[in-house]
Amino acid sequence: MNDTQVSAGRRVGRRVGRLLGRVISGLQPAEPLPQLLPRPEDDAAIMDCALYVRGSRAPGRPGFSDAYATARRRRNGFVWLGLFEPSWAQFTAIAQEVGADDATVDTTLDRERRPAIERRGDVTVLTLRTARYVEHGELTETSEVVDTGAVTLLIGAHFVVSVRHGGAGALADVREGLQQRPSLLAQGPWSVGYAVVERMVEVYHDVATRVERDVEKLEEVAFLRHGGCDVQQIYQLKRELVEFKRAVLPLQAPLRLMAETTSTLPPGLRQHFTDVLARLGQVVERVATYNELLDSILQARLAQVGLDQNNDMRKIAAWAAMAAVPTAIAGVYGMNFDHMPGTSSPWGFAVAVLVMCAGMLVLYRLFRKSKWL
């Protein structure tokens, strides 16, 4: 075989290879599909996404991927993505982008998780319970007084992802207020964590103040002789207070940890968390006081109900004793013996009725004197 034939064979082989490559490329997609694409309706879960650099918000509302990539290139930049009840697919895609594992995904999407703080690799997971006071005309045995939810913050070196569940605890005002404090915002992602915690504690104080009014109203009517509150109303308010307590009380341990031992917390924010911890302690003390007061009201109301029932039983017994006098006399004279005192006298019936009335009158005066009637 000469050189001309060899070169012709090579050209034919290259053409065949290019043809096969076009056929194979036509059978395969031009680029691989992402494994977790958010559904179109998941866009409603994104409340806001913003890039912050040196305490100022960059203009516009970029996508999270672009904003996060930009933040990683900037020394003093981070992105804050706010989500409201995202789907599992959407949040998993975001978690994978920031380096969070599957356990973090499960923790974040848990609506009933207690307040806690955990360090998982390069991501800190901070969970808070949200709360709001539910307005109601009057307290009944089914009234909803406190509505609670959850908000979880994923905090890293250049990002904050907040995931909120439930109607309480909207963070739009927190974002606006934080953007008015550029010196605090310049502290980085943990400034968002502090602002959210501070807002939650402020809301706790407001809810505690309104619950206090309900307790005071309940205390005013609890001991009324007529028209007082039912035991079911006291018990319902106590249940609502317990739900509020579950949101407030467990937050002390995470705040204490952040104020004392969290190494990733900027030194400038440590004192801020200490102040918030002190304010949270005030709320805890108020909730404990309300709980003890409701216990006292409940016990006193139960004792009052028992006393009222005892008074009713004494009245019934007094009237039954008075009714027994004519019943006994009539029973004796109803035995139809031949020789009964007064049966042969024309005044016998009148004397018997007079004795009955006199006996009942004497018993009535005795029961009135002893306050049985």
| pLDDT tens per residue, range 98-145 | 999 889 999 999 988 999 999 888 899 999 999 999 988 787 888 889
CA distance 85 to 100: 18
Q: Is the pLDDT of residue 4 over 70?
A: no
Highest mean pLDDT among 231-235, 242-246, 331-335, 338-342: 242-246
Cα separation of 329 and 122, whole Å? Answer: 95
Q: pLDDT: is 1 or 226 the higher one? A: 226
Whether 280 and 255 have beta carbons less than 8 Å apart is answered as yes
Token representation of residue 283:
């709320």
Both tokens of 304, joined, read 């009052």
Predicted TM-score (pTM) of the model is: 0.73
Please, are residues 287 and 244 in contact by the beta-carbon 8 Å criterion? yes
Of 114, 146, 152, residue with least CA distance to 247: 114
Q: How far apart are CA 306 and CA 299, in angstroms?
A: 11
Burial class (CB in 10 A: 0-12, 13-18, 19+), 254: buried
Beta-bridged to residue 146, according to DSSP, are 133
Q: How many other CB atoms are found less than 10 A from the CB of residue 52?
A: 26
For 44, which DSSP code?
G
Burial class of residue 22 (count of CB atoms within 10 Å of its CB; 0-12, 13-18, 19+): exposed
CA 164 remoteness from chain centre: 12
Render pLDDT for 186-204 as a digit per residue (tens, 0 to 9). 999 999 999 999 999 999 9
Give the pLDDT confidence score for residue 11 in this predicted structure. Answer: 46
Residues 11-23: tens digit of each pLDDT: 444 444 444 444 3
Q: Where are the beta strands (DSSP E) in the chain?
A: 46-53, 56-57, 77-84, 116-120, 123-133, 146-155, 159-165
Amino acid at position 255, single letter: L
CA atoms of 146 and 238, how far apart (whole Å): 11
| Long-range contacts of 215-220, Cβ-Cβ distance < 8 Å, separation of 24 or more | 215/290, 215/293, 215/294, 215/297, 217/139, 218/139, 218/294, 218/297, 219/293, 219/297
| Both tokens assigned to 289 | 């006081």
